[in-house]
Amino acid sequence: MDAVDFAIYRHLSRDGLSRFWASRRVVDPRVSVREIAEAVGRSEAGVRGRMRALRDAGLLGATEVTLNPSLFGASTLVAEIPVESPLESEEVFRDLAVADGVVFARDVLDEQDRKVQVYVASEDSAAATRRVALLRRLNPGRAVRGPSPYWIPVATRDPTELDWRLLAACRRHPDATVARLASECRVSVKTAARRFDLLVDSRACWWGSAPEVTEWPFALLRLSLEENADAVEVASQAAARCDSWLPVAADGLGTDPESTPSTVAGLVPASAPAALEHSVRNVLEIDGVADVRRTFGLRSASFPGWSDALLARRLPARLR
């Protein structure tokens, strides 16, 4: 993976910022190859070839659509299960498949502390209590930490029946053209395109790469700032000092940007340890940066059963 590959990944989002809602990278499905090519200074054919090579190498997974838990009146919590080896991690992932309400899990290494972060959707406090208790029963030898709230922007639109049908079609065919979605829902292309835009803009769902056994070779760097440091200036300096720096938006770290201090974070390539440490040294030299914390994604998995079951109940009986 080189700087061009990294730039392509960055521009899968229209604003060039990375967001992680329920720990899933959010991309804009309306960004075209032409727009990416213009942003990275390559031909469309060259960008298509790069993306094909990344997919063939397992570094760019198939697209997956995630439904916003707020559509079902649910909020998201995150619990952490400590693990020490890939075998333990595999056992946890296998058990999560039978845990109600689990929507996503990620095996991460955070400054030598390895754990599986489990994202759970809960309609109320009683459901949260039941689901975390189940996690503890499934992992009797491990101290389950949390849960703690994980902030995701809520959907700003109440779906109509047609919206639910369109959401179901997007779940089944995440890479489909608007014309195909229109055919699935038996509406005009114009109507499907308008509703599609409304669903994306209202955050009813989001698109991302489906999890792979091997994560992208990135490290998440969280910069702890000194008191009175200018977060905007620090972020600008980080982008200037690192050859490849994918800034993480304030609304992509699980905390409400309106109620918490500014956080500076970014993704940098982690496939070459020396280059990673060079990036860390560069950001530590920025005025106002007190510390840098590294987090590595090792593997991940999604568990769509909870949302798919609730989605099915909102569809007409003939479409279930």
Q: What is the pLDDT of residue 258?
A: 82
What are the structural domains, with CATH classification, of the chain?
69-154+301-313 (3.30.70.100), 157-202 (1.10.10), 218-296 (3.30.70.260)
What is the arithmetic mean of pLDDT over 13-27?
Answer: 83
* Tens of pLDDT, residues 189-242: 999 999 999 999 999 999 987 655 455 678 899 999 988 888 889 999 998 998
DSSP string, the chain: --HHHHHHHHTTSTTS-B-EETTEEPB-TT--HHHHHHHHT--HHHHHHHHHHHHHTTSSPPEEEEE-GGGGT-EEEEEEEE--SHHHHHHHHHHHTTSTTEEEEEEEEETTEEEEEEEEEESSHHHHHHHHHHHHHH-TTS--EEEEE---PPP-S---HHHHHHHHHHHH-TT--HHHHHHHHTS-HHHHHHHHHHHHHTTSEEEEEPP-SS--SEEEEEEEEPTT--HHHHHHHHHHH-SS-EEBPGGGSSS-TTTS---EEEEEE-SSHHHHHHHHHHHHTSTTEEEEEEEEEEEEEE-THHHHHHHHHTS-GGG-
- Which structure tokens are listed for 249? 């938006």
* Tens of pLDDT, residues 149-199: 999 999 999 999 999 999 999 999 998 999 999 999 999 999 999 999 999
- pLDDT more than 70, % of the chain: 95
* Tens of pLDDT, residues 104-141: 999 999 877 999 999 999 999 999 999 999 999 988 88
* In the predicted structure, residue 261 carries a pLDDT above the cut 60: yes
* Tens of pLDDT, residues 78-90: 999 999 888 999 9
* Tens of pLDDT, residues 50-68: 888 887 776 676 688 999 9
* In the predicted structure, residue 264 carries a pLDDT above the cut 50: yes
What is the arithmetic mean of pLDDT over 15-23?
Answer: 83
What is the arithmetic mean of pLDDT over 288-297?
Answer: 91
Q: What is the pTM of this model?
A: 0.89
